[in-house]
Structure 1
Amino acid sequence: MLNPYLTPDLHGIGGRIKVRNDDFCVQEIPLYVPSGQGEHVYVSIEKTGISTFQAVRRIAGALGIDPRAVGYAGLKDARAVTVQTISIEGVDPSQVEALDLAGIRVLSVDRHTNKLKMGHLRGNRFTIRVRDVPKDAVPVATQILDILARRGVPNYFGEQRFGIRGDTHLLGRELVRQDAEAFVRRFVGMPHPAEAPQARRARQWVEEGNLASSLDAWPRGMEDERRVVRVLLDHPGEWTRAVRSIPNKMLKFFVSAYQSALFNQLLAQRIASIDRLQKGDLAWIHGRGAVFVVQDAEQEQPRADRLEISPSGPLYGYKLTMAQDAPGEAEREMLEEEGLTLEDFRLRGLKFKGARRPLRFPLREVKIEYDEGLLLSFSLPPGCYATTVLNEVIKPSEHAAEE
C-alpha cells in the first residue's frame, strides 16, 4: 500500500531498516510530568521487539489486573526499541518495580491523578539507522529532508496501521457497511503469506469449513479469532453474534483503520500541492488543533508557507464538518464512491464522530550522520508516522522495481 511521494523527482537512497530492533528507536516526548500523587501509577518502560498491545497484556497478566486498567498515550512498533509511559490504576508501585518480563524493562515509576489516554503526548523522537547504503547517501538524504522540512511531510497513516495482512481497513469497511458475514470471513479466513504458518493453517481450516480443526490451530495471541470460531461452532451462521464476541477496542481499531485508508486516498490526490491552500479548505492551525474555513487562499498562503497552518482532510464520522467548494466536493465524492453516508459511522457501541487531520506535518530537529549506515534523528508530532519520512528518503517502490 505505497502512497505517492512528495519528492518523486529525487531518487531514494535504498537500503534496509529494522535489520535489528535497535535500528529503530522511539522515545515519547511527554505532554506533562507526573505530579507524584494520585491513584494512577505512571511507568516509563523500554520495550524491545514487542508491540504496545503485547506489552500491556504481559504487564497486566503479571500484575493480575484487567488490561483495560492500563493506559497509554500512543501505540509503538514491535520491531523497535521504544521508550514510552503507561499508566496503571490501583496497583502498588513496588509491584511494578519488581516486574521481570521478557522484552520489557521498567525505567521509572511515579504517580499521577489521571489515566493516560491516546494523544496525551507532545510528540516522539526517532533515531533510525538505514543499513546497506554508501556514504554518498548523506547529501541525497539531506536534500530530500530539506524539502520535507520546508514543505511539510505528507501526513499519511503508515502501513503498520493496516496490520501484517494489510487488511485492517477492509475489516473496518465491512463493519461500517454492517456486513457481518463478510467481516467474519475475512477476520478468521483468507490465509495470508505474511502470517505465521500456524495462523495460515487455522484460516485454511475455516476456508474448508472445518471449524473444529481451526479452533485448536490458532496460535497464542489470536484469542479473538479463536473466540469467533467458537461462536460459529456453537451458533452456525450467526455472524453478528460472532462479531459482537470481539472486544470493542479491537473493532474500533478496524474502523479507525478504514478512516485512515480513506484519508490516505484523499491526501494522495493532493500530494503535489499539500502546501497550497484552496478556497473552501478547512485549514488546520498547528499547535492548536483547530480549523477554520479558507475564504481567501491567497491571503492565507503566507501562513501556510511558514507551516503555521495546513490544508486538512477528513476522518469520516457522523458529526464530521466537511470542507467547502472544490475540497469539499472531493470529500463528498469519495464517500459516495464507497456507497456510504456520514451517518453510517454511527454503529452500535462504536460511534465515530469524525475529525479533521492536517494533510502534512512539520519535521523538526533533523540530524543526519553516517554510522554503520545512514543515521537519521528527528522529532514528529503525535499521531504522525516516521515511515512516511523514511519512504521519501528510501523510495522503497523504486528499489522494489529494480529487484
Structure 2
Amino acid sequence: MLGLLMHSPCAASLTCPSTPMPACLSVLRSNEDFSPQQPAKPAYSLLPAQAARIDERGWCAMDLTTKLRSQPPCPSFRIFEDGIGGCIKARPEDFQVEEIPWRDPSGQGEYLYLFVEKNGMSHGELLAVVRKAFDCEARDVGYAGMKDKAAVTRQWLSIPKKFSENASHFNHEQVRLLGTIQADRPLRRGDLRGNRFVIKIRDIDPIKAIQAGRMLQKIEEDGLPAFYGPQRFGYRQNNHRLGGALLTNDWQGALDELLGPSDGNYPPHQTALREAWSSQDAEALRSGWRPSQRFEMLAARKWLKYHDAEKSIRSGGRVTLNFLTSAFSSFLFNQILEERCRRGLLQVHQEGDLSVDPLKKSTLAAEEGGIPSALFWGKDAQLADGIQGEIERQVLKTYDIQPEWLQNRWAPYGERRPMRFHISNAGVEGGFDEHGSYIELRFTLPRGMFATVVAAEIMGEQDHPETDEDQISPDAPSA
C-alpha cells in the first residue's frame, strides 16, 4: 500500500497544510472522482503529432534530419489529464538514486566492488575520479548502470583487486566511498535489478501530495508507458538526430548538428561558440568549448587540424557514437509506443504481440507474466505481427528507414523492450524544509526505466525538460 505523509521540519516558522492520516489513507484507497485520461483514437496517415501540421506530400520531401527536427523525441502522451505542476532537480540532493544489484557479491575473488556516492557529478567524471584514485585504466572500471549528474546517486563499481591498496586513501569532495567487498567477476552493463528513487518536487503546494499519492498508486497498479526519458536525447534533445546522421554517413550534417546553431536549442552561453562555427572563427572553436562538452571540444579541434568532417565526428570515440545511434532507435521506440498508447492499447494484449520478461527482456508468454513489447530498431531485431507489427512498420516507413543502415558499423543491436513498467514501494510526503515547500516521491523502478518519465506524469507537461549539459555522451543516465 502506498504511504502518504505530511510534515514540516521547520514547523516553528512555517505552517504546513495538514490532513488527518485516516482521511489521507481512505483517499488513497479510493479512485472516486479520479480517472486517467481516456486516449483518443484518431484516424490519420502520418503520426499524430505530425499530421496536425504537415501534409503527406511535404513530409515525403523532407530529408531524415528535417523529419527528426519536426518531432520532439519525448512523447507528449500522458495517462493523466492534469498534473500537479512543480519542478525537479532544483539541487542535486532533491534527486536521489540508489542502485539495486542483480546479485550480491560473493565476498571473495579477484575483483573489488566499490559502493560509491557521487554528488552533482556526471558518470564520466566519476569514472575519471576512480581511475585517478586507484591508478587504473578505463577498461579496468566496471559498472552496472549510469546515473544522473544533477543528483546524489549511490552505485557499485568494480576494479581488479590488485588496485585495492588505494581504497583506504580514497578522498574526493564530490565522491564518497561507502564500502568495498570482493567479488569473483567484474560488473557489466545491466548487472542491476533496478533503482530506488527519492525525488523532491519544488515550487509546489504540499497539500497536492494527496493528488500525487493517488496518481502514484494508479501507476503502481496499472503501470506507465516505458518511454525513453529526455536524458537519452541529451541536453539539446538532439542525440537522435546525430545518430541518424551517422547511420546515413552524413558526416558533415552530423558535424553541423553537433557544433552549429541547428534548431537554436542550446544554453545561452554557447551562442557565440555556435555562431563561431557558422563563421569558422578558428580561435573561438579552438579554445571556447568547456571540458564537460568533450565531444564538441574534440570535434572542433579535429576539424581545425584536418577539415575532415568524418575524422571530426569519429573523435568522439566508439562508445559515444554507438550511444548516439542507440538514441536514434530510442526515438523510434518512443514513436511506436506513443502510437500504441493513442490507440488505447497499452494495457490490452493483442494478437501478434511479442511478450517479454520485463527484467531480462527475453521472450516470456503473456500467461506467464510477459509484457507486450515494442521494437527497439537495430541489428537482428524482430518485428511483431498483428496491430503492433503494423504500427512498427508504419513508423519505419514514416522515417524511410533503410535495411542497408543496419550494415553501418555504428548501427545498434535490436531488441524487444517492454511497453510498460510498474513502480513498487511507492510513497509520498509533503512538507517544508530549509529550501521551502516540497512534495517527495519515493519509488523503485526496474532497470532501464526512467524516473523522469514518472515525474513528468505526476507533474504534467513541462516546458523545459530537465537534462544535464554534458549528456550528449554516454554519460547520460539510463534510469
- Fold in common (TM above 0.5): yes
Within the candidate set 451, 459, 462, 1:394 is matched to 459
Residues 312 and 355 (structure 1 numbering): CA distance in 2 closer, same or farther, change over 3 Å? same
Contact 1:311/1:358, CA 8 A, preserved across alignment: yes
Report the equivalent of 2:206: 135
Residues 83 and 73 (structure 1 numbering): CA distance in 2 closer, same or farther, change over 3 Å? same
Work out the CA distance in 2 between the residues paired with 1:110 and 1:196: 45
Work out the CA distance in 2 between the residues paired with 1:326 and 1:252: 30
Offset at residue 342 of structure 1 (A): 4.2
Work out the CA distance in 1 between the residues paired with 2:184 and 2:282: 47
Q: Deviations over 1:19-45 (max 9, x none)?
A: 221111110111112223333321110
Offset at residue 52 of structure 1 (A): 1.4
Report the equivalent of 1:367: 427
Residues 235 and 46 (structure 1 numbering): CA distance in 2 closer, same or farther, change over 3 Å? same
Residues 346 and 114 (structure 1 numbering): CA distance in 2 closer, same or farther, change over 3 Å? farther
Report the equivalent of 1:297: none
Alignment of 1:130-279 (within 5 A): 130-190=201-261, 194-195=266-267, 197=269, 199-236=270-307, 238-271=308-341, 272-279=344-351
Q: With the length of structure 1 as denominator, give the TM-score of the two structures.
A: 0.89
2:90 pairs with 1:19 = yes
Note the residue ranges of structure 2 that are not aligned, 5 or more in a row: 1-71, 433-437, 466-479
Residues 151 and 118 (structure 1 numbering): CA distance in 2 closer, same or farther, change over 3 Å? same
Offset at residue 97 of structure 1 (A): 3.3
Q: Deviations over 1:74-131 (max 9, x none)?
A: 1111111110011123642231332222311111122222221211001101111112
2:363 pairs with 1:291 = yes
Work out the CA distance in 2 between the residues paired with 1:46 and 1:86: 11
Q: Percent identity?
A: 31
Higher relative contact order (CA 8 A, sep 6+): 2
2:124 pairs with 1:44 = no
Contact 2:96/2:153, CA 8 A, preserved across alignment: yes
- Aligned-partner SS, 2:75: coil
Residues 381 and 342 (structure 1 numbering): CA distance in 2 closer, same or farther, change over 3 Å? farther
- Aligned-partner SS, 1:92: helix
Name the count of aligned residue pairs: 385
Report the equivalent of 1:32: 103
Within the candidate set 53, 56, 67, 2:127 is matched to 56
Offset at residue 325 of structure 1 (A): 2.1
2:139 pairs with 1:78 = no
Amino acid at match of 1:347: N
Alignment of 1:77-156 (within 5 A): 77-89=148-160, 91-156=162-227
Q: With the length of structure 2 as denominator, give the TM-score of the two structures.
A: 0.75
Amino acid at match of 2:415: A
Output the aligned Cα RMSD. Answer: 2.3
Offset at residue 224 of structure 1 (A): 2.9
Report the equivalent of 1:357: 417
Work out the CA distance in 2 between the residues paired with 1:256 and 1:399: 23
